[in-house]
Amino acid sequence: MILYEDDFVIAVAKPNNMLVHHSFMARNQSEEQTLVGLLEETFGKSFFPIHRLDRKTSGIVLCAKEKALVSRFQALFITNQIQKVYYGIVRGFSPKSGMIDSPVKGRDANVHKEAETHFETLESITLPIPVRPFSESRYSLVKLLPKTGRMHQLRVHLNKISHPLIGDPKYGDRFHNRMFQTEFDMHTLFLHATTLSFQHPFLDTEIVITCPFPTDWHTIANRFQWKLPH
């Protein structure tokens, strides 16, 4: 789904469990469909990702139409001139709001880099479904505003405050992940990139791009009687 397009960039909605592009770190990289590959098949031309989303994260991916344009837009991310909004569903009752300021490992696992995430809890629920070791289960809907863009930053930070994202196979809680699979048939990482806002470096206008929530989110929101943000 195309969310925004001009002469310089295109923004598209990446589904859950799709790579943005092949990389050395990705398994089965020669056979697997990627977002960039899908765009090339659809439009018959190459596109160049300006930033990344994890395979299991859904939401906005911004791509340049020419390779020479990538650095100009990447500079906005590097200098924190792009405002990003994510939403996540986490285990437990998360605090009303807060800021997580904790270093996160970069792609070089031996190097930690400063990382900052602000969050706000929008909804919560207690379910009469036991999840080990408790007789019931609790979940929260959180709004996430990362001020930096480290690898797995939001996933690591939420685990750091003991409210890991549901469906996270690496940093999450396997018992709660399993409950969502068995009770709701949900195998999704509930992390979605909904908004990118920035001053366009060529058009000199404020651009705000939004991405609708995937179907799984609406299914869970209806079940929990939560109101998803527009």
Catalogue the active-site residues: 54
Distance CA 39, CA 43 (A): 6
Alpha helices, DSSP H, located in 47-173: 70-78, 153-160
Distance CA 137, CA 222 (A): 17
Selection from 86, 39, 102 nearest residue 189 by Cα: 86
Distance CA 108, CA 75 (A): 21
| Bridge partners (DSSP) listed for residue 159 | none
| H/E segment holding residue 157 | helix 153-160
Distance CA 155, CA 143 (A): 13
Contact 51, 63 (CB under 8 A): no
Three-state DSSP state, 169: coil
- Phi, psi (deg, nearest 5) at residue 54: -55, 155
